[in-house]
Amino acid sequence: MTIIFYAVVSNDSSEDCWPCEQAFALFDKYGLDKVHIRSLGLFDDYDKMCDVLCKTFREVAKSEIAQDEEGNVLYFIKRDKQGKRDSILSLCKLKTLEYRLFRKMREKLRNFYVPDRKSDAPASEIAKRYMREAKELLAENDLPRPLQYYHELFKTAFEFIDSNRKVNIPLLHSEYVTFSEKLLEYFSKQYRDSAFAN
């Protein structure tokens, strides 16, 4: 297992975290693995900044979990004119749409497979709700795969869980990353010869 560093937080400071360059210099000094970062630029024009942020949001939104995992973190940095005292003004997370769809899938499956309780709605109705909410999430943004892929994956999740409930329900509730990996393997085998094959 590798720990990948991305920020340094001082417990006795009012700042959210150290400026990126300062934190990365510390990581380099001790040979620590760190995330990839890139600057979106320096802005003195609000409209230009908004255009760049909007473009970045769309790029991150359509990324795959395998590439960008949950998404990216944006740091808004106030630059000191001498470059000696930069400070973090704010930071925000940009989630990939694929991550948000997987999170929504997790929520619906966990609610359906509550131990010692039967769901009121059938799996087909839950799948319809998932699809409806997924369409709302998309708005004007793109996914790395067609929406139908995620719909089929969600429907297959019920079949996958029911194939070995003693193992898969606990995984769903306590180890969702492992559950997702196993579900994707199962899905790939089921759809090996279809348009959804990877």
The pLDDT profile of the chain, 198 residues, written as one tens digit per residue, is: 688 888 888 888 778 888 888 899 999 999 999 988 888 988 889 999 999 999 998 888 888 877 777 888 898 988 877 767 788 888 888 888 888 999 999 999 999 998 766 667 888 899 999 999 998 888 767 888 888 999 999 999 999 999 999 999 999 999 888 898 899 999 988 877 666 555
CB atoms within 10 A of CB 68: 19
Domain end call among 73, 93, 113? 93
Distances in whole angstroms, Cα of residue 138 to Cα of each of 61, 96, 97, 101, 155 = 9, 11, 7, 10, 19
Apex CA 123: angle with CA 166 and CA 155, to 5°?
A: 85
Tell me if 9 is assigned to some domain: no
25 is in which domain, residue-wise? 20-93
Tokens of 94: 């940009």
Q: Residue 108: which of 134, 84, 83, 85 has the closest Cα?
A: 134
Number of domains in the chain: 2
Same domain, 83 and 101: no
Q: How far apart are CA 81 and CA 26, in angstroms?
A: 22
Asked whether residue 30 falls in the same domain as residue 89, the answer is: yes
